[in-house]
Every structure is written in structure tokens, then in C-alpha cells.
């Protein structure tokens, strides 16, 4: 692997970590990690003067996230093709788990407001799974870059 690619991947990975950190902070600030607080964010809370989210309101947020998540996943997971982990079952499982976590992270708000409040737990779990697995992929990329002698 050319040295410029290594530097580009490391540079990109640092910005992805900054993106994940800011996403974590915003999620904690706006929605929260407590199920009741997160439920108040979606279903509304008169005491906190929070209006309930609507399908159109969630759709406005979701549209941007679909593009962002897809782009981030495509780039980060595409880099795995060039590593020693490319043909491992672990890598395939990791990729599918990330894609499933993304799906639930994006679409559980619709389930929360339209189906059942129980889906708030799936929202929180999918958030943590996604936030844990993307740094795992970045670690695998970094490990492969360090291992390559060039």
C-alpha cells in the first residue's frame, strides 16, 4: 500500500472519530441514554415543554442521516477490502452487524411513535452497537496499515 494511502486513511479515521464523538455528545444532550428521557424526546413531555415528534419531523432528520450513514459506511467498510481481514467471517459479521445497527438507529423513531414505546430500547442499543463497531473497524484498518511493510 502506498504511503499516501496510509496517511489518507489515518487522516480520515481521525475525522471519523471526531464525528463519532460529536454524535455521541449530541445524542446524550438531545435524546439521552436513559430510556425515560429518550422516550420523552420522541413522545413529548408537558413538564419539560417538549412537543411530541411527528412522522414528518422525524423524516426530516432521517433523510440527512440516511445519506450520512451510507456514505460513512461505504467508505469505512470499503477500506476493509484492502486489509488482511477481507475474507474473514468476522469481517462479514462485523459489516452486517453495522448495517443492521444503522438501519435500526435510523428507523426506530418511526417504530417508537407509531408502534410501541418498547422500541426505545432498540434505539439506544443500536446507537451503542454502531458507536462501538465503527471504531472497531477503524482499529482493524489501523492495524492493517501498521502491519504492511512498505
Q: Choose the most confident range, by mean pLDDT, from 4-13, 28-37, 74-83.
A: 28-37
Cell of 47: 413538564
Q: The whole model's pTM is what?
A: 0.87
Task: Note the pLDDT tens digit of each residue in 87-143.
Answer: 889 999 999 999 999 999 999 999 999 999 999 999 999 999 999 999 999 999 998
| pLDDT at res. 104 | 96
pLDDT at 1 > cutoff 70? no
How many Å apart are CA 93 and CA 96, to the nearest integer? 5
Amino acid at each position: 500500500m502506498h504511503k499516501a494511502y496510509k496517511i489518507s486513511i489515518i487522516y480520515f479515521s481521525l475525522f471519523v472519530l471526531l464525528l463519532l464523538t460529536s454524535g455521541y455528545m449530541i445524542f446524550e444532550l438531545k435524546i439521552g441514554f436513559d430510556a425515560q428521557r429518550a422516550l420523552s424526546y420522541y413522545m413529548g413531555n408537558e413538564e419539560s415543554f417538549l412537543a411530541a415528534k411527528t412522522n414528518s419531523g422525524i423524516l426530516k432528520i432521517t433523510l440527512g442521516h440516511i445519506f450520512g450513514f451510507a456514505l460513512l459506511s461505504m467508505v469505512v467498510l470499503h477500506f476493509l477490502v484492502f486489509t488482511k481481514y477481507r475474507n474473514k467471517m468476522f469481517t462479514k459479521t462485523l459489516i452486517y452487524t453495522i448495517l443492521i445497527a444503522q438501519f435500526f438507529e435510523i428507523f426506530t423513531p418511526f417504530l417508537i411513535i407509531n408502534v410501541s414505546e418498547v422500541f426505545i430500547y432498540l434505539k439506544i442499543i443500536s446507537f451503542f452497537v454502531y458507536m462501538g463497531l465503527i471504531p472497531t473497524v477503524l482499529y482493524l484498518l489501523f492495524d492493517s496499515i501498521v502491519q504492511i511493510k512498505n
